[in-house]
Structure 1
Amino acid sequence: MPKTPLPLPARLNPVGATFIASLLLSLIAWLGSTINRDGMLYVRVGQAFIDGGFAAAREAFHWPFLGIFMGLLAKISGLSIEHAGYLINALFMAGASALMVACVQRRQPALVWLTALSVLALPGLNEYRNELLREFGAWYFGMLSLWLALRWDEKPTWLPVLVIQVCLGLAMLFRPEMACLYGALILWQLFAAPRGERLRRSAMLGALPLLGVALLTAAYLGGQIPADSRLAFDLGRINSASFDAKAELLASGLIDYARDDTRAILFFGSLALIPLKLINKFGIFLLPLGFLFLARARDQGLGRHALFTWAIAMQVLVLAIFVLDLQFLSGRYVGPILLFSVPFVAAGLHAMLARLPRWRLPILAVPLLIALANVVSLSPSKAYLVDAGHWLTANIQEPTTVYIDSGRTAYHAGWLNLQTPTRNDRPAIAAAVADPRYRLFVLEISRHDPAPDEWLDSLGLHVVQRFEHAKGDAVIVAERRAKP
C-alpha cells in the first residue's frame, strides 16, 4: 500500500496545508455569524483591561487572560477587540491542528494526510469556529507542549523540559484544567521510556509540577488561598459533602425501594454524560475508531501514540470530577479528548482504506463534506439582535433611560458596561414600567415564552419596534402609551 492513501503532490507540506486550510474554515465560519455570549464577556474583559489594567479585567471575569490578550492585540493592531479575538482564536485553532499533524508526522508519516483530514473535520472540534472561546488557546498550548515532549523524548535534556512546562502553564491561562497534561507526561514516561531511563525522565518532567501541586495543596489546606478564588473553587470540586447533599435531594424524589441506591444512581448517571457526549461529538468518526479495534489494527495507533492515550485518560479524569460536581457537561469540554483522539481516527481511516479499497472515494469524501458542514450554517442568522442594537445606537443618546433585559442587544448597541437584568423577569419589568426613569423598554422574547402582547398592553405599553428571528425569537422595543 502507498505511504499515503491521498493522491497529493509530494512537495505539498501537510503541516502548512493544515494550517492554511484551518484558517480558511475559520473565515467561512465567521462570515455571517454573530458573536456568542461568552465572546461578549471576553470583549468586555478586554475593554476593562484597556481602561483599567489587570485589576479591572479581573473584576470583570475571574479568569481574564483571553480577554487581556484580545485587548492587547486590539491596542497594538488597531483592530476592534472582537475582531482581535476572532483572529487570535483562528490562529490558535490553526496552530493546534497543524501541531497535531506534525506530531503524527514524527511517529507515523503514512497517516499524516489522514490526520490532517480528521483534525479539520471532527465535528466536536470544528463546530465552534464561529465562537470566541477560551478553549482554542488551551488546545493550542496543550498541543505545543505535547509536540515539544515528542521531540524531547528523542533527546531528553533539561532546557526543553522547562519550555514544555511553560507551554502548559500558558494553556492553563485559558483553561486551568489543562494542568492534567502534566500527569499525562509523567505517566507516559513511566510506562513508555526505556527501562533504565523511566524514573529519571519522569522526574525531569514531573519534579517541578509535583512541587507546585504540593505547595498549592498545603496553602489550600492551611487556608492561605482566598475562598472566592478560582483555584479554591476548582479544588472544592473534590468534595464528597456536596455530592452527598445532592444525593439526599435526589432521594426525596425516588420511590422507597430506590433510595438505598441513590448515590450509585447519581454517581453512574453523572459519569454516563461523558460517553454520551463523546458519542454525539465524534459522530460518524466513531466508525473508523471502531474499525481500528475490530480490524486488530490497534498497534498502528495505540502503540505509537501512547502520549495521546495518557492525555485522553487524564482528560477523562478531569471530566469525571466535573460532572460528579455539577451533573452537566458542555460539548466543547470534551474537545481535548477529540483532539487527542485524532491519531487513532486517522489510523482507523487508514485501516478502512486498506480493507475496503473499492470504498476509497466515499471514505475520503465524507470527512471533506463534514468539514464544510461544520462551518457552513443553513439556519437563519441572529442578525435581528444586531439590527436591534444598531437601532438603539441610532435612536438613544442616554442608555440610563432604557430598561433592557437583552444582554446581546446591549452589546450590539455598544453598551458594554451596562448591567442587564434577568431576561423575561415579568415582575421586574412591571416594576420598571412604574419607574419614571425609564422611557423605553427593550425586551428579549424567546419563542418558548408566553405571547407578550396582551401582557404588555396590560402594563400600558405599546410596541414601537419589533426585530424578529425566523424561528420566532424577537427583540421588542416598547414605550408607554400616551395618556389621553
Structure 2
Amino acid sequence: METDCTLKSSIHPLDADNEPDLNDKPKKAEIRIIAYSAALLGFLLASIAFFERPIIVDDGVMYLDAAGHLLAGDLRGAYHIYSRLFYPALIAATSSMASLPLEESAWLVNSLFNALLAYCFVSITGMLGANRQTLLFSAFLILTLPEIVGWRADVIRDPGFWAFHMLSVLLFLRFMKAGQIPHAIGWGATAVIATLFRSQGVVIMVLLPFVLLWVSPGPIRQRVRLLIKAHTVTLVTFAAIGVWALFGPAIDLSDYTLGGHPLLEPLQRVESFLNSVPEAMADRVSLVSRAIPRDYATLTLTAALALILMKKFAGIMTPFYWPLYLIGPLRCAFRAPRAFIHVMVWLFAINLCILLVYLIPNFDLSTRWMIPATLILLLPVPFFLSAALDRWKSRNSLSRWERLLYPILALGLLYIVLDGFISTSPSKTYLRDTGHWIKENLPEGGKLFSNNRRIDYYAGYPVDWGWAASPIATPEFRQQVRDAHADMYAVQAKDENSRKLALELLRSESLKPLREFTNGDDWVIIYGRADDQTAAPSRPGILE
C-alpha cells in the first residue's frame, strides 16, 4: 500500500494525461458549485456570528477610529492612529457606498473575507485531486474549524490576509498548470493585496515562485523564464515604488504615526531579529544553565521553541485532525500531484521561517499569525476524512479495534462543531453596556479616565492613541489616576485581586462609587468626583 501511495503522489502536475485516477472525480463545474456553496455558507455564518456577538475587540477600535478619520478626509489623522490604512480604507469605502455605520461595514467586509477563505480552501483541495466527498469534507473543515470560527465575529484584519493569501496560492497553482501571463498577474496581484493586510506577505510574494526552479519541466532556461513571469507583478510593483521614491512628490507622514512604515516592516523585523536574537538567546542560555549543564542549555531552548510551535499547531488543528497524519491507510489517501506537494512544503517552510522571526525573540506567538501555515497543514485532512468514511463503509473487513476508531472520529468531528459554534466563555458585552451608561451619565464636556479603549469607544469618548494605562498593581497606574483629574473613572479589573486594588485606589482618592458592571469573570468599576451630582446609585449596582 505504501508503494502504491508513493507512485500515485509522484505524478507531475503539468502533465494533464497523468492526473491521479480518483474515484468520483468531479468536473470543474462541480468543484465551483461546492466552492461557491462553501463561500455562501461562510458569509452567512460570519454574519450570524456578528449579530450574536455584537462587540468589537481592542484592535477593532483602532481600525474603526482610523476609518472614521478617512471618511472625514483626515488622512494624517488616520495615519496617526494606524499606519497600514488598507483595511480601514475598505471599511470606510464600504460605509460610504452602502450607507452603513462603520461597525456594520467592518462586519460586512469580514463576512466577505470569510466567504473568500472558504472558497479558496475548497478550490485548492479540488486542484489537489479531491473527489466530491473530499470536497464536502473540505468545506466542512474550513467552516467549522474552531480557531477560524472564534475570530469570525471580530473586527480584525487577519481574515483579509488569510483569504487573499489562500487566493494567491490558488492562483499560483493555476499559473503552474497554465504558465500564462494573465495567471501570473492574478497570483501577483492577490499576493500584493495580502501584503496590504500583513507585510509578511511580501516575503511569500518574493520567495514562493522560486519553487518553479525545481518543480517545472524543461531545461533550466525555461524554468528561469517561468520564474521571471511569476514575478511580473512583483517586479512592476518594486519598480513603481523605486520610481516614486526617486521622482515622485515627497509625502512625509512619519510625524503622524505611532508605528513604522508598513513597506519597511519585513526589513525592520529581520533587522530586529538579527540584532536581538543573539543577545536574547545568550541571556536565556545563561538562565537555563543555572539548572542544567551549559552544554545542553542551547539544545533545551531549541527544544522549547519546537514544543511551542508544535503545541500551537496541534491546538489550531484540534486533537482530532493532527492524529490523522499518524494513520497510514488514511495518510495514503492523499495522492496529490508531486509538484503541488512541493509547493505546499515550500510555502509551509516560508511561513515557518516568518513565525520564527516573531517567536525566537519573544518565546510566544499569537495563534492568528499561525493560521496561514496551519491551513497548509490542514489541506490533506479532507482526504484523510474521506478515506476514513470509505473504510467505515466496508467496516466488515476491518478488525474490531479499527471499527471502534471511526465512531470515535465521528464523535470528535461533532465535538469540533460544538466547540466552534458554542462559546462557554463569559460575554464581553458588559463593556458595551458600560460605555453606553457612561455616554448617558458623563457631564457634557466632562473628562473620562479609562484603562480599556473599548469603553472609550462605546462611550463615544475620543481615544488617546498616544497613551496607554499601566497595570493596576503598579505605582505607575496609581500616578496615572492621580494625574487624570477626570470627572469619571472607569477601571476594568480582570481578576478579583485587581478589583480589590482598584477599589482601594479609587476610594483613597476621595472618589464616590457610581456603578459596577460585570460578566461574572471580570469587572468595570466606575467612580466619579465626590462633588459630582451624576444621577446614579450611591453604591455600586451590578448589571449581569
Aligned partner of 1:446 in structure 2 is 494
Distance in 2, matches of 1:440 and 1:66, equals 33
**Structure-to-structure mapping, 1:56-455, within 5 angstroms:** 56-110=77-131, 111-183=134-206, 185-196=208-219, 197-206=222-231, 209=234, 228-238=260-270, 239-256=273-290, 258-259=293-294, 262-283=297-318, 284-291=320-327, 295-300=331-336, 305-357=341-393, 358=395, 363=409, 366-367=412-413, 370-398=416-444, 400-419=446-465, 421-425=468-472, 427=475, 430-431=478-479, 437-450=485-498, 451=500, 452-455=502-505
Contact residue 108 and residue 304 of structure 1 kept, 8 A: no
Distance in 2, matches of 1:59 and 1:339, equals 34
**Aligned-residue CA RMSD (Å):** 3.4
Sort the Cα spacing of 1:53 and 1:263 in 2 relative to 1 into closer, same or farther, 3 A: farther
The residue identity in structure 2 corresponding to 1:344 is: P
Please state how far the C-alpha of 1:242 moved relative to its aligned partner: 1.0
- Structure 1 SS opposite 2:427: coil
Please state how far the C-alpha of 1:96 moved relative to its aligned partner: 1.4
Contact residue 514 and residue 526 of structure 2 kept, 8 A: yes
Distance in 2, matches of 1:28 and 1:369, equals 20
| Residues 50-99 of structure 1: CA deviation (Å, up to 9, x unaligned) | 22443322211122221121111112211111111111111111111112
The residue identity in structure 2 corresponding to 1:247 is: M
Aligned partner of 1:19 in structure 2 is 39
Please state how far the C-alpha of 1:258 moved relative to its aligned partner: 4.0
Distance in 2, matches of 1:295 and 1:429, equals 55
**Segment drifting more, 180-189 vs 204-213:** 204-213
The residue identity in structure 1 corresponding to 2:116 is: G
Please state how far the C-alpha of 1:266 moved relative to its aligned partner: 4.1
Contact residue 452 and residue 491 of structure 2 kept, 8 A: yes
Please state how far the C-alpha of 1:406 moved relative to its aligned partner: 2.3
Distance in 2, matches of 1:80 and 1:240, equals 44
| Residues 439-472 of structure 1: CA deviation (Å, up to 9, x unaligned) | 222111121534143443333223111111212x
Contact residue 31 and residue 135 of structure 2 kept, 8 A: no
**Segment drifting more, 347-356 vs 188-197:** 188-197
**Segment drifting more, 111-120 vs 396-405:** 396-405
Unaligned runs of 5+ in 2: 1-21, 246-251, 396-402, 533-544
Structure 2-normalised TM-score? Answer: 0.77
| Residues 238-287 of structure 1: CA deviation (Å, up to 9, x unaligned) | 34331122123324534456445555544443344222210111112113
| Residues 377-413 of structure 1: CA deviation (Å, up to 9, x unaligned) | 1333112111110011111144542222222211111
- Structure 2 SS opposite 1:299: coil
- Structure 1 SS opposite 2:497: coil
Please state how far the C-alpha of 1:175 moved relative to its aligned partner: 1.0
Aligned partner of 2:249 in structure 1 is none
The residue identity in structure 2 corresponding to 1:29 is: A
Please state how far the C-alpha of 1:342 moved relative to its aligned partner: 3.3
Distance in 2, matches of 1:59 and 1:95, equals 30
Sort the Cα spacing of 1:289 and 1:31 in 2 relative to 1 into closer, same or farther, 3 A: farther
Distance in 2, matches of 1:393 and 1:381, equals 21
**Segment drifting more, 372-381 vs 65-74:** 372-381
Aligned partner of 1:478 in structure 2 is 527
Distance in 2, matches of 1:301 and 1:352, equals 21
Contact residue 47 and residue 108 of structure 2 kept, 8 A: no
| Residues 341-360 of structure 1: CA deviation (Å, up to 9, x unaligned) | 33311111122223333466
Distance in 2, matches of 1:19 and 1:368, equals 21
- Structure 1 SS opposite 2:379: helix
The residue identity in structure 1 corresponding to 2:508 is: S
Aligned partner of 2:6 in structure 1 is none
**Segment drifting more, 24-33 vs 158-167:** 24-33
Residue in structure 2 matching 1:468, options 491, 494, 518 = 518
The residue identity in structure 2 corresponding to 1:178 is: G
Number of residue pairs matched by the alignment: 473
Sort the Cα spacing of 1:292 and 1:305 in 2 relative to 1 into closer, same or farther, 3 A: farther
**Segment drifting more, 424-433 vs 175-184:** 424-433
Unaligned runs of 5+ in 1: none
- Structure 2 SS opposite 1:241: helix
Distance in 1, matches of 2:303 and 2:236, equals 33
Contact residue 444 and residue 475 of structure 1 kept, 8 A: yes
Contact residue 403 and residue 432 of structure 1 kept, 8 A: no
**Segment drifting more, 293-302 vs 141-150:** 293-302
Contact residue 184 and residue 230 of structure 2 kept, 8 A: yes
Contact residue 448 and residue 461 of structure 2 kept, 8 A: no
Sort the Cα spacing of 1:263 and 1:12 in 2 relative to 1 into closer, same or farther, 3 A: closer
Aligned partner of 2:4 in structure 1 is none
The residue identity in structure 2 corresponding to 1:469 is: N
Sort the Cα spacing of 1:137 and 1:453 in 2 relative to 1 into closer, same or farther, 3 A: closer
Sort the Cα spacing of 1:302 and 1:119 in 2 relative to 1 into closer, same or farther, 3 A: farther
Distance in 2, matches of 1:328 and 1:267, equals 14
